[in-house]
Chain A
């Protein structure tokens, strides 16, 4: 069976999930949902099919399972957002349309040879850094819960970090392709630890400095962990030196500690993480309310969950105004909503889908022949995996909660668009690698 036919077959589950999910949510909540809202699911299915046809023509040899895995994630997300609010589901479906356009654009533009990206590596790196700095620009930057992650342009807000992660990975992959040999050859051992040669360390220090600066600019340890982790994963794959990773982790720990000492917002986060059920913390504005509610919702889900539309996300309080039981349910806490309504089984299913998507990503990296493709696929996959870890870990009280999105599931335009570009790049690498292996 050819790769594309296999992909088409693998899209059947996604279509079943969308149909089933929308039907179940509609049955449970038909008193608040309009009949027309069912079409959002159809729009989504049409998009999947369109993307499949596009891949059939442009990247016939690309990995057959990667796109269906992402489609399953996206449709679980869409069903959950539909369950939370039908307007959001409509907007999400619209974002999918734009995202698919960007996906097609990336593929068509880079189809001949995506390695032209290497030529623009410093431009791309600069663009990534500018994107990260945007939220601090007065007037357009916006601060949410002490973290500088959003940019407001008129009525639109967008999260530049989502795009910056791709730019930085492209830069690092192309930079490390050139320097990895040097980093290994000239390394000296001192006190049992291998240090990279000072001469070639400069740009690495720049990246480390940028990651640190970002930590202090964004004031968000979670997103910084995502970037820094992706960087260290690339460094490890490029050099096979665990010591470089250890040094990097040490630097990150020191930077985080310094930030923790300096910023009361981070201290609040850590306190909320350590003692979510402490009453004064729970009642404080920006305290542990969100995390504690998330844990309650997940515990309430049990093994098989409450069922579609059965979870309590908001209740009417005194004077008829709504009390949010799960603040930011459609973005940060969507994993908690999934656990609440589909239970442990559903949540584990979602995490396994992510795991398999990451496995496909690393497989693409091992199949790719040239170093740049290998590093690009590894870096994109690593940063994707780390993003899932940061938000799922945050919601389940493994690490302090930070507001990054759950890729392809959370509501949010920038997240959808950026992850579509990420998927397009992975498929481009995969197409070339599999074609070369076959021939």
Chain B
């Protein structure tokens, strides 16, 4: 006697699932149309051969790797006022020596202490065999490390914050 009721509920059940799915997929479709779904935009330049899918994805949000402006902002460093910014450019050496692009007046720093190297849309931090080590977010840097905006680079008593635009 109740058979028709449960059959009706069954079809209602299926209908609700599909309407819900349609609604959710509409939002996905909108994302695709807008074209900022993490994919490469038609207008953006081809990524360098070493670029990864991650680069491509972050590029869409950053609005192109060419706009990047990697900088080191002084958080605290002897002889520098906090808030001062250094451009990284293609590469920059941090150290106590004269050849260093970013001069550190820090007794714990070596002459050529660490290096920042730009590779495509990524800036890599590398220790150059310093005596007292380089710290990225308070972790000793052992090999080349990619930097992310907001990362803290510390050498002795000098500390910098990495920014990329």
Contacts and interface: CB of A to CB of B under 8 A. Distances in A.
B146 A371 contact: yes
A144 B143 CA distance: 45
A70 B125 CA distance: 41
Interface stretch (B3-11, B78-86, B99-107): B3-11
Contacts of B14: 304, 342, 345-346, 349
Contacts of B122: 181
**Which secondary structure dominates chain B's binding surface?**
helix
Nearest to B18: A349
A369 B149 CA distance: 9
Given A238-B52, A240-B51, A304 B11 contact: yes
Contacts of A185: 50, 119, 144
A13 B20 contact: yes
Given A238-B52, A356-B21, A371-B146, A437 B6 contact: no
Nearest to B148: A370
Contact of B9 (A182, A200, A308, A345): A308
Interface stretch (B22-30, B67-75, B87-95): B22-30
Nearest to B62: A369
A200 B134 CA distance: 20
B43 interface: no
B53 A237 contact: yes
Contacts of A69: 24
A308 B6 contact: yes
Given A10-B20, A17-B17, A371-B148, A305 B10 contact: yes
A247 B20 CA distance: 40
B38 A366 contact: yes
Interface stretch (A18-26, A36-44, A262-270, A314-322): A18-26
Contacts of B9: 20-21, 23-24, 27, 308
Given A10-B20, A239-B52, A21 B13 contact: yes
Interface string B23-57: 11101100100000110000000000011111001
A181 B18 CA distance: 43
A27 B6 contact: yes
A159 B24 CA distance: 32
Nearest to B20: A13
A356 B17 CA distance: 12
Most buried by A among B20, B27, B51: B20
A366 B28 contact: no
A112 interface: no
Contacts of B58: 369, 374
Contacts of B18: 349
Given A184-B50, A363-B28, A369-B61, A72 B13 contact: no
B80 to A, nearest CB: 27
A317 B53 CA distance: 58
A327 interface: no
A236 B53 contact: yes
Contacts of A28: 2, 6
Contacts of B13: 17, 20-21, 24, 308, 342, 346
B73 to A, nearest CB: 18
B111 interface: no
Contacts of B57: 365-366, 374
B28 A353 contact: no
A342 B5 contact: no
A373 to B, nearest CB: 10
Contacts of B54: 180, 237-238, 240, 371, 374-375
B77 interface: no
28 contacts: A13-B16, A17-B13, A20-B9, A24-B10, A27-B5, A27-B6, A27-B9, A68-B24, A69-B24, A178-B145, A180-B54, A182-B144, A237-B53, A237-B54, A240-B51, A307-B10, A308-B6, A346-B17, A349-B18, A349-B21, A356-B21, A356-B28, A359-B28, A360-B28, A365-B38, A374-B54, A374-B58, A375-B54
Interface of B: 2, 5-7, 9-14, 16-21, 23-25, 27-28, 31, 37-38, 50-54, 57-58, 60-61, 119, 122, 124, 143-146, 148-149
Given A240-B51, A374-B54, A374-B58, 5 more contacts: A68-B20, A181-B124, A309-B6, A349-B14, A363-B37
